[in-house]
Each structure stands twice: as structure tokens, then as C-alpha cells.
Structure 1
Amino acid sequence: MKKIAIIFLLFLGVQSTSFSQSLDEYLKVAAENNPELKAYFNEYLASLEKVPQVGALPDPELTMGFFFQPMERFMGNQQADIQLMQMFPWFGMLKTQKDEASKMALAQYEVFQDAKYRLFYQVKNTWYQLYRLEEEIRITEENLEILKQYERLALIRFQSADIGTGSGPSNMQQATSMNSGSSTSSASSMGGMSGGMTSGTSGKSSSKGGSSMGTSSSMNGGGSGMSDVLRVRIQIKELENTLALLEDSRLPIKAEFNQLLNRDINEVVSIADSLSGSVVSWERQALLDSITQNNPMLKMLDAEEEAYEAQKKMARLEGRPMLGAGVNYMPFSPRTENGMPMGGNDMVMPMLRLTIPIYRKKYNALQKEAELKQLAVQQRRENTVNQLTTRWSTALRDLDDATRRTKLYREQTDLAGQTLNLLMTSYATDGRDFEEVLRVQQQLLDYQLKLITSIVDQHVTIAMLENLAATELN
């Protein structure tokens, strides 16, 4: 009996592997290698190149005309007519155009920032899901080993019961064959039990004394031991199937993680040894204020609003005249009149040009367009604040729920472990309540898995809040 108790109380612990690469390093790799993020950054760089374009003066215009035959004029024969003109926008127009382009570039930068924080959230979420999967595999393997220990214990009890009641060597062979785990050997053992029952009946017909009671005890002990073995084998098969499914799920999650980092899908991913429960140290209202101030989408809309304000100013300035300054150069060659050379001096004439914007409808429409776009951005910003507030409150609710579940499942795991120890001791002593042992063991496995899920949910929710606030919260 002491041997049985020692075997039953043995547990196999699987230690997590220690990894050197941290999540922060993966985030850095993702920021450097993710192709979508690099595309957003290049779009931002492209928008910056717009600033020097709109801040430059219009190209000067050069007009050149040549005569096939010199035109006779009083000053001589004109050979050509060359004009050079530079137009100048109204005062402040170039500065306003540069300001508008800069604001649009800033809006594009905030789009890049939003893409970066969304990528960080995806990397964190996938990494946490991979951690949860590895922990589920580890816990499942531990529980599978424990169930195999239960199976060995049930077999030992079955063999001990047969020997103690003198059921004969046939049941000993059945117990040995059951240890192989095949369905054929289980059926053979069941047949052996029937043989034992027949033998007990023969003994009863020859002797009506204590042998009848001994046979009845043999039947009950053998049947109980047999059912214990079969029950635990049913759970072993179910757990083996669950473990196979978990291991099959490793590849797609790892592939998703590596693709976010733009690496080969088979690249090794380092996972933390353990994750503890996490909380947000910020006050809730302060967190909401940070979201409404720092969220990249709100900053993008603010930059767009400022850009449309600059566009309104540009529309007003476009309704002002444009000034042009230039020079007209006319080369002359001397002409002969009555044998005397006449003229031949080149002429240089300064020129001014002025546009007259008299068609006002298009300028008024430009200004109205900018005003309506600015109003649309303001309304979109208000709607975005409402959506962010909803996501903030939902995330806090999920975080509170995950925190409560973490506390609950820790307590439930401890209680289930204590209950299981008591049941194990009872079964090792008198062989009772094996079905209850298996039920509590299944409960313990369920609580362990739910505890891992709740801890991961905490970290994923905090990652979501960090994505909304565009900052680290711990």
C-alpha cells in the first residue's frame, strides 16, 4: 500500500525554456523590416518633398522670336525679339503654400505613426497568443503525464486486488496486457473478468461457506479496478487529441508572427519563461486624456484641419493679382540709307505684367470648399473621439474582467490542487473515489488553462490601451 501511495503522489514538472530575445527586440525588428510600415514611411517622405515644390517661384518664361528677313525699322534692321518674364505670387502666398504642404506632410506622418502602433499591437498580440499556446501545450503535457501515472496506479491496484482475492493467474495476465494500452487487450481483460466470475460460481456450488463471500469480493474488486483503468484511458486519449491540435496550431501563429517581422515563417520565435498578471498604473481619466491628446488619428485630423485653414488663406490670396517683371531685348543691325549707315543700336526694355482676377466665382468656390473640408474634419474628429472613448471604456472593462478572472482561477487552481491531494491520498489508501479524482484532475486542468488565458488577456488589453494612447503604460 505504501508503494501505491508513493507512485500516486509523483508528479512530473516540465520547465519552460529560457529565451534571450525579448518582445522589445521583436518590436524593433518589426519597425525596421515590416514592408507595410516602410511603405507608410516612404509616403510620409514623399509628402515632405511637396514643401519645396510649392514654396518655389513659378519658372521664368523666355520668349524668343527671329525674323527670316530683318525687319526694317527706323533704328535699324531688327533681327529678333527676346523676352524674359518672372511672375511673382501675391505677398504671403508662397509661405501659405509651404505651410499647407507641411501640415499635410504632418498628417501623413501621423498616419505612419498610427500604422506603427497598430503593428506593435499586432506583434504583441500574436506573441502573447503564441505564449499562451506554448503554456497550454506545457500544461497539457504535464496533465497527460499525470494521467499516465494514474493509469499505472489503477493497474497496480487492479493487480493487487486480484492477488489478494486469489482470482488466479488469468487476471494477472489481463492486468499486464492492459498496460499496453490497446483496445484489444482491454477487451481480453474484460473477458478474463467473466472467466473469474464463472470460477467464483463453481466454487460456490461446491462450498456454501466463506468461499462465496470471497468470490463476490473478487468480482467487485476486479470490476472496479478495470473500470478505473478504462476511465483514465478515455481521458488520456482525449488529452492526446487536444495536445495534437495545440501542436498543429503552433505553425500558423508562428508564421503570422514572423510575417509581421518580414522573416521566414519557420524562424524560431523566443517566448518568455512566464508572464505574471499586469495592471495599469495610470488613473483612468488620465489615460483617457492621454488618448485624446496623443492618439495619432486625432493628431492627423488636427493637422488636416490646420492644412485646410491654410487652404482658405490660399484661396483668398489667389484672388489677388500676380505681378510679373521682365525684360525685352531687341537686337538691331545698321541699315544703309542714301549711302549712310543708320541705327544699329540694340534695345533693352524693362517690362511689368499684372494679372487681373475679375472672375470671382472660382475664388469664392475655392474658399468655400476649404471651409467645408475643414468642417468635415472637425466632425470626423468628434466622431473619432467618441469611438476612442468607447474603445477605452471597453478595454478597461475587459482589463477588469481579466484581472478578476486571474484572481479567481488562481484561487480555484489552489483549491482544486488541495482537493486533488486529499482524493489522491484517499484513493491510494482504500481505492475509493477514483472517478472523483479524474473529475477534479480535469477541473484543475481547466482552471490552469483559464488562468493562462486570463493573464494573456490582461497583457493583450494593456497592449490595446497602449495602441490607443500611443505610449507605454507601465
Structure 2
Amino acid sequence: MKTTAAENNLELKAQFKAFEAQLEGVTQAKSWQDPNLSFGYFISPIETRVGPQIARFSLTQMLPWFGTYKAKGDIASYRAEAEFEKFQNQKLKLYLDVVEKYYDLSALRHIAELEAEQLQILEDLKSIVESNYENNKANLVDILRVELQIDKQANVLQVLKDQDAAMVAQLNQLMNRPMKTPVLVSNPKQILEQKQIEETDSISSNHPRLKAIRNLQASNKAESLLAKKQAMPQFGLGLDYAIIQDRNVMAADAGQDAIMPMISVSLPIFGKKNKSRKKAASLQGESLQFQLENEETRLETEIQVAQYKRDELFSLLDLYEQQLLRLKDMLQLSETALANASMEIEEVLRLHEERLLYEKQKAKTFAKLQKTNETLNYLTSNSE
């Protein structure tokens, strides 16, 4: 199910395309600047010794300081890797979302089973009350009271059926499938009650949320290096080609076109913008360090909260088990007493209602426990 979601989920696909788009920036950053080609035509030809100059072509290629393109490529590459870590984190969160909804669905279907059992119990109680009524050991109102509970129980089952359809639609939406595609849960009770305790004392240093920031820090270091490179001169290599017209000039080289190689150097004398680039990179680096420390603290806190919640859920499960054992004994005695007409039906119905309540709370608690374990798995995951 998680694999299907990873392959088909539209939000995850969008995140991966964002990574691919960022990856294309690496090629763009390492590419040379386009050369400049210019053409000039003299409306009034300039007379030279070898003839009038009528047109000129100029081709120029600018070259940045050594290592500039590599620094730009590193910046784009690290940013692409940060985008990939965001994709990895999105995938892990998708897995978590899918399994959480699956456990919710399992709990709902187990509760539906319990409600169906309760309906059968009410039918059996009705038979006992009817038998007592025929033997003048019960009143007609007792039969009506049980029938009222039966009608209520049938309505509960219909509500659960509608909720089931809604949860199935949510799961199918995550997997980008038709909303009414069936979702099989073979044994809801067994799925809920499988206990898996994993020791998770600390965060993983390779968690995607942390690696994304570290890649941005590496990109920031490359930006600092780029700021230094940009403070250095740029070189320009060029070639001028002048077209000379042959117009009856008495010279051996008359009409010969002129070719002139050129070299240029930029003069980075305005240093304010370069200082500003370096300061911006430094401030961004400090910001990223704070972000990293904050993210580490958040992950550690979320792990601690999940562990406390898990311990609390285990305590609740122990309580429900004890209460259900006591209720089981009480129900055995009460049903015997009801058959002997020595106990009122209201008390028996109340005990069965209480038992059902504890069973449902137990199922919901198991679902919360499984979701908490999955949350801990997410918080301690790594992208490797």
C-alpha cells in the first residue's frame, strides 16, 4: 500500500518534479556566458590608407575568474540535493499518513465487528426476556426496552458503514486511485494488537529534514566562495573584423580587410556590492545554523512526546484489560440472574453497554499506539 502511494501520489510526484527542475539548474550554472556578436555599418565610410572602411564585426567572450563556474555549479548542486531531501521527507510523511489512515480503518472495522456482536447479544437478550414474559417473569416494557436498543444498534452499524466509505476514499486519494476502490483489511483485531516496540532514544543525523538544511549550508559555503570570486576581475577575449572596400587605392594591400584580436579586463573598483554579497552569505550561514539547531531540537522533542504518549497508551490498555476481565465475570452472573428473573434487564443492558464501551476504547487505543509507533519510525528515519 505504501509502495502504491509512493508511485501514484500526485503531491509526491509534484515534489519530485520540483527536484528535477532544481537539478537542471546545475547545468545552467556551469554553462559559459553567451558570446556577444555585434555588427556596425558606416553610413559615411571612414577612409583609411588601404581604402574606405564600410563595416565592422565584433565577437567577444567574457571569462570570469578561475573557479567561478565551479562555485556556481556547487551552489546549484547542493540546492538540488536539498530539494531531493525535501522529497524524501515528503515520501516518509506520505508513508506515515497512509499507515495512520490504515490503522484508523482497521480500528473502525474492528469496532463495526464489536457493534455487530453487540446486536447479536441484544437479540439473544430479547429472546430471554420474551421467554420470561411468557412465564410472567417480565413485563412487556422490558421487551420494548430491548427492541429500542436493537434499533439504536442497527443505526450505529449504518453510521459506521458510512464512515468506512469515507476512510476508504481518503486512503484511495493518497494512492491516487478511484475513490470507491475496495481496501482489504483481513483481520482488523490482529492488525491492531500486534505489538512492536522499537527503542528510539535519539534522532538520526541523516533524517531528511536535517540533511536538507545541511545541503543548504554547503550551498551557502559555495555562495561565500562565489562572492570572493565575483570580487575578482573578469577577462574578455574578442576579435574585430573590419571590411575595407577596394576603391582605386594605389597600394599593394588595398582593400585588404582588417583583423584585430582584443583582450579586456573588468575593474571591480566598486567594492560595496562585493562586501554586501559576502555579508549576505555570512548572515545566511548563521540563519541556516540556527535552523539546523532548531530542527534538531524539534525532532528530539517530537520523539520525547511520542514516547510519553506511547507509555500512556500502554497504561490505558492495561486498565481496559482489567476492566474487561471484571465485566466478563459480572456479565456471566447477570445473564444467569436474568434467565432466573432475579435481575432487571436495565442492569444487564447497562453492563453490556459498558463492556462495549471498553472494547471500543481498547480498539481505538491500539490504533493510537500503532500510529505512535509509526510516528517514531518517521522521526528516527534516515534518507539513506
TM-score for the superposition, normalised by structure 2:
0.92
Q: Identify unmatched segments of 5+ residues in structure 1.
A: 1-25, 162-220
What secondary structure is seen at the aligned counterpart in 2 of 1:324? strand
Per the alignment, residue 361 of structure 1 pairs with 272
Match of 2:244 among 313, 316, 332: 332
Greater CA drift, 121-130 or 233-242: 233-242
Asked if 1:142 is matched to 2:117, the reply is yes
Partner Cα distance (1:253, 1:276) in 2 = 16
Partner Cα distance (1:387, 1:256) in 2 = 28
What secondary structure is seen at the aligned counterpart in 1 of 2:31? coil
Alpha-carbon spacing, 1:279–1:361, altered in 2? closer, same or farther (3 Å): farther
Match of 1:108 among 83, 98, 108: 83
Asked if 1:309 is matched to 2:218, the reply is no
Partner Cα distance (1:272, 1:353) in 2 = 76
Per the alignment, residue 94 of structure 1 pairs with 69
- Contact persistence 2:200–2:380 (CA under 8 A): no
Match of 2:231 among 298, 312, 319: 319
Partner Cα distance (2:313, 2:261) in 1 = 80
What secondary structure is seen at the aligned counterpart in 1 of 2:203? helix
- Contact persistence 2:5–2:174 (CA under 8 A): yes
Match of 2:19 among 44, 59, 63: 44
Partner Cα distance (2:167, 2:359) in 1 = 21
- Contact persistence 1:402–1:458 (CA under 8 A): yes
Asked if 1:269 is matched to 2:269, the reply is no
Quick one: which amino acid aligns to residue 393 of structure 1?
Answer: Q
Per the alignment, residue 465 of structure 1 pairs with 376
Partner Cα distance (1:471, 1:455) in 2 = 26
Greater CA drift, 271-280 or 33-42: 271-280
- Contact persistence 1:334–1:342 (CA under 8 A): no
What secondary structure is seen at the aligned counterpart in 1 of 2:46? strand
- Contact persistence 1:330–1:347 (CA under 8 A): yes
Quick one: which amino acid aligns to residue 226 of structure 1?
Answer: L
Q: How many percent identity over aligned positions?
A: 31
Per the alignment, residue 183 of structure 1 pairs with none
Partner Cα distance (2:15, 2:251) in 1 = 75
CA deviations over 1:325-381 (Å, ceiling 9, x no partner): 1222223343424x6665232222211110001000011011111111111111122
- Contact persistence 2:103–2:192 (CA under 8 A): no
- 1:179-258 equivalence runs, <5 A: 221=137, 224-258=138-172
- 1:413-424 equivalence runs, <5 A: 413-424=324-335
Match of 2:211 among 299, 310, 316: 299
Query: How far is 1:57 from its partner?
Result: 1.1
- Contact persistence 1:277–1:403 (CA under 8 A): no
Per the alignment, residue 323 of structure 2 pairs with 412
Per the alignment, residue 450 of structure 1 pairs with 361
Per the alignment, residue 118 of structure 1 pairs with 93
Per the alignment, residue 441 of structure 1 pairs with 352
C-alpha root-mean-square deviation of aligned residues, in Å?
2.2
Partner Cα distance (2:127, 2:68) in 1 = 89
Partner Cα distance (1:426, 1:252) in 2 = 42
Partner Cα distance (1:361, 1:279) in 2 = 63
Query: How far is 1:309 from its partner?
Result: 1.5
Per the alignment, residue 59 of structure 1 pairs with 34
- 1:358-397 equivalence runs, <5 A: 358-397=269-308
- Contact persistence 2:116–2:157 (CA under 8 A): yes
Alpha-carbon spacing, 1:423–1:454, altered in 2? closer, same or farther (3 Å): same
- Contact persistence 1:76–1:332 (CA under 8 A): yes
Partner Cα distance (2:66, 2:228) in 1 = 12
What secondary structure is seen at the aligned counterpart in 2 of 1:66? strand
What secondary structure is seen at the aligned counterpart in 2 of 1:351? strand
Asked if 1:76 is matched to 2:51, the reply is yes
Find the structure with the greater CA-based Rg.
Answer: 1
Quick one: which amino acid aligns to residue 398 of structure 1?
Answer: K
Match of 1:34 among 9, 15, 25: 9
Alpha-carbon spacing, 1:134–1:434, altered in 2? closer, same or farther (3 Å): same
Greater CA drift, 399-408 or 33-42: 399-408
Partner Cα distance (1:33, 1:445) in 2 = 39
Greater CA drift, 459-468 or 140-149: 459-468
Partner Cα distance (1:308, 1:397) in 2 = 38
CA deviations over 1:205-239 (Å, ceiling 9, x no partner): xxxxxxxxxxxxxxxx3xx4435424433432332
Partner Cα distance (1:432, 1:43) in 2 = 69
Partner Cα distance (1:125, 1:282) in 2 = 17
- Contact persistence 1:423–1:433 (CA under 8 A): no
Match of 1:400 among 308, 311, 322: 311
CA deviations over 1:224-278 (Å, ceiling 9, x no partner): 4435424433432332332232223223222222211222222212224131434
CA deviations over 1:299-329 (Å, ceiling 9, x no partner): 2111111111111111111110001112222
Q: Identify unmatched segments of 5+ residues in structure 2.
A: none
Partner Cα distance (1:391, 1:128) in 2 = 21
Query: How far is 1:70 from its partner?
Result: 4.3
Asked if 1:345 is matched to 2:256, the reply is yes
Partner Cα distance (1:394, 1:282) in 2 = 15
Per the alignment, residue 425 of structure 1 pairs with 336
